[in-house]
């Protein structure tokens, strides 16, 4: 329909407010780096990025645009996305998904194993039709409940902050990955998931990637409620050298560990030790936070060799990384059974964001990187440019048929594979309930039988019974609460089933707001903004009023000269555990 005067005026006014805010602070995020356009005096670093920007703007002349999925011809989807018959979100489950036992009838709280992948694409798993074999992840999805609409933030630290607190990361001031230069992390006044569970008798254990604060020991996991931590505290490490940004980042409870081995396997080894030596008098919460399949592309040769050479070289290594992740998860599941914990453990699997793929980057940026590589080869001579190139070109995830990927607020960046399984309490099935990363904390407290522990003031809501039985216990009526995401090139707001996308201003985006009905149009092909100006204005007003906490992130002028590289470099700094204050 044509916009009337009042709706059009309101929409334009709200959109302008959002655009002005973004123009003052434009997030240009690629993988683990953000460039901030501020009102500061021009520095050498800023001048360099202006030159890079000019190259990007001129890049359509540098070479042909890159296809949306350059690494793999998309196979026929084994489990296609089928939108419901109506535009209203479904909150009911197939009859086969009803639980065999009500959670209220259990006499003891369950053990909880939370398994998080890193940068796993929508179609990087077998149950979504991938050529990558993932029988263990598929087991969770086929024997448990597959969550068809599980949403996260498009980048790592914000999702992890939401999971740990039950709050919108924008409220916490964490809107991009925490770089190695950020002095703080997840605010210390926030009570987080292991602390809630410890208060009702759980032992909280963690293995893998933290990425919520590493410069001060009071931000380490063992200072935030975990009794044991093994892994790395920064965002991305080399799988073999365990280095990040020139420092060795591998520790056990704050003490640097130097050991050989592939990181995914070592994380699983420690998880098995912890399950075997746990305090059997208490329920266990294990957070298995894997780094895989985050860059760099590294996997054991024998695992890579299991995939045909006809695959794109990067996709083939990526497949090996996902296969190693799946094997590690299978080892954890087998250990649960060996320890007699299988029937008493809730397992919840998901990725922290969508998969990294060149399709999430502006075509001009991809072409500019191709041009630079054609001149200088790989690696590029400037470390910051090489880091940028790696994140632009080397991602090999498959998010099809969803749009774009990691860093993007479109569906490929924020809708991820997820499933939960509790033998005896969940039957095989699917749930179309809208669940987000910030719902994880209250949902687990419900599953543990301690709903009274859920505090007021969370952005997330408990979805446990709703997932199991299709009942609405969220106290939000038939509609889930609003969900705000922020990533590469803009912000978005989901008021299910509608989704508003507000891109960044040029040169990195088109500032025109977009509106999608994501239940009927999951691939986001039909922009409905012109048809629904009143709805656009309403959602823009919600975004404008969203509470934003003070951001914790270091500015470009610091990051540029000390790029957040990971893996494969020389160790020329103190190990991260020793360097922390």
Instruction: Give the tens place of pLDDT for each residue, 450-484.
Output: 999 999 999 999 999 999 976 444 444 456 799 99
Task: Give the DSSP letter of residue 439.
Answer: G
The tokens of 151 are what? 């949403």
Q: Is the pLDDT of residue 253 over 50?
A: yes
Q: What is the Cα–Cα distance from 355 to 152, expressed in whole angstroms?
A: 12
Tell me 68's DSSP state.
Answer: S
What does pLDDT average to over the chain?
84
pLDDT, residue 118, reads 99
Tell me what pLDDT residue 244 has. Answer: 94
Q: What is the pLDDT of residues 63-73, one digit of tens each?
A: 333 233 333 33
Domain ranges of the chain: 111-357+395-476+556-561, 489-545
The whole-angstrom separation of Cα 310 and Cα 526 is: 35
Find the Cα–Cα–Cα–Cα dihedral 14, 16, 20, 21, rounded to 10°. 20
Judge whether residue 425 has pLDDT over 60. Answer: yes
Nearest alpha carbon to residue 289 among 390, 395, 161: 161
Confidence of residue 360 (pLDDT cuts 50, 70, 90): confident
d(CA 396, CA 313): 9
Q: What is the CATH code for 111-357+395-476+556-561?
A: 3.40.720.10
Q: How far apart are CA 570 and CA 580, in angstroms?
A: 20
Q: Residue 327: CB partners within 8 Å, gap ≥ 6? A: 136, 268
Q: Name the most confidently modeled range: 37-41, 137-141, 549-553.
A: 137-141
The predicted pLDDT at position 107 comes to 66
User: Strand 345-351 and strand 111-117: pairing?
Assistant: parallel
Return the pLDDT at 37. 30
Each residue's pLDDT tens digit, 184-212: 999 999 999 999 999 999 999 999 999 99
Q: Tell me, what's the pLDDT at 543? A: 97
Question: Residues 6 or more apart from 125 whose CB is under 8 A from it?
Answer: 132, 134, 137, 138, 141, 322, 417
At 491-549, the pLDDT tens digits run: 999 999 999 999 987 665 567 999 999 999 999 999 999 999 999 999 999 999 999 99
| Confidence label for 399 from pLDDT (cuts 50, 70 and 90) | very high
Give domain 489-545's CATH architecture: 2-Layer Sandwich (3.30)
Higher-confidence position of 112 and 91: 112
């Amino acid at each position: 329909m044509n916009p009337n005067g009042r709706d059009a005026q309101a929409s334009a006014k709200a959109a302008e407010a959002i655009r002005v805010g973004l123009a003052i602070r434009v997030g240009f995020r690629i993988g683990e780096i953000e460039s901030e356009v501020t009102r500061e005096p021009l520095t050498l670093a800023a001048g360099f990025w202006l030159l890079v920007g000019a190259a990007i703007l001129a890049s359509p002349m540098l070479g042909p645009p890159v296809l949306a999925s350059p690494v793999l011809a998309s196979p026929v989807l084994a489990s296609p996305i089928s939108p419901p018959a109506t535009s209203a979100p479904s909150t009911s489950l197939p009859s086969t998904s009803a639980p065999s036992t009500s959670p209220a009838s259990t006499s003891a709280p369950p053990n909880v194993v939370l398994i998080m992948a890193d940068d796993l694409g929508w179609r990087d798993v077998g149950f979504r039709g991938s050529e990558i074999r993932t029988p263990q992840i598929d087991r969770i999805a086929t024997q448990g409940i597959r969550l068809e609409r599980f949403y996260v933030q498009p980048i790592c630290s914000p999702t992890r902050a939401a999971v740990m607190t039950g709050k919108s990361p924008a409220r916490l001031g964490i809107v991009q990955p925490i770089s190695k230069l950020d002095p703080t992390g997840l605010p210390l006044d926030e009570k987080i998931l292991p602390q809630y569970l410890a208060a009702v008798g759980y032992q909280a254990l963690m293995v893998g990637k933290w990425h919520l604060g590493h410069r001060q020991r009071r931000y380490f996991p063992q200072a935030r409620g975990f009794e044991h931590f093994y892994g790395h505290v920064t965002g991305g490490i080399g799988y073999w050298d365990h280095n990040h940004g020139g420092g060795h980042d591998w520790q056990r409870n704050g003490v640097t560990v130097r050991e050989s081995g592939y990181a995914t396997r070592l994380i699983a080894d420690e998880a098995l030790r912890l399950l075997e030596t746990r305090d059997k008098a208490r329920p266990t919460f294990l957070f298995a936070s894997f780094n895989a399949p985050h860059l760099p592309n590294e996997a054991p040769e024998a695992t890579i060799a299991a995939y045909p050479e006809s695959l794109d070289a990067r996709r083939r290594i990526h497949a090996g990384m996902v296969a190693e992740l799946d094997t590690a998860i299978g080892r954890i599941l087998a250990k649960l059974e060996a320890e007699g914990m299988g029937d008493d453990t809730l397992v919840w699997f998901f990725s922290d964001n969508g998969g990294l793929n060149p399709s999430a980057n502006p075509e001009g940026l991809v072409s500019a990187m191709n041009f630079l590589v054609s001149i200088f080869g790989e690696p590029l001579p400037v470390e910051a440019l090489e880091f940028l190139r790696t994140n632009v070109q080397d991602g090999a995830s498959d998010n099809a048929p969803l749009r774009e990927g990691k860093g993007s607020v479109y569906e490929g960046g924020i809708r991820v594979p997820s499933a939960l399984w509790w033998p005896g309490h969940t039957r095989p099935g699917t749930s179309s309930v809208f669940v987000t990363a910030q719902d994880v904390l209250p949902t687990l407290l419900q599953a543990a039988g301690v709903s009274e522990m859920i505090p007021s003031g969370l952005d997330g809501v408990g979805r446990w019974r709703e997932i199991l039985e299709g009942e609405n216990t969220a106290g939000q009526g038939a509609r889930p609460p609003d969900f705000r995401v922020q990533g590469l090139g803009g912000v978005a707001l989901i008021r299910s089933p509608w989704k508003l996308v507000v891109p960044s201003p040029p040169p990195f985006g088109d500032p025109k707001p977009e509106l999608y009905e994501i239940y009927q149009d999951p691939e986001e092909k039909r922009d409905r903004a012109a048809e629904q100006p009143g709805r656009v204005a309403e959602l823009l007003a919600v975004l404008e009023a969203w509470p934003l906490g003070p951001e914790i992130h270091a500015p470009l002028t610091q990051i540029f000269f000390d790029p957040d590289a990971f893996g494969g470099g020389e160790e020329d700094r103190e190990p991260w555990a020793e360097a922390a204050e």
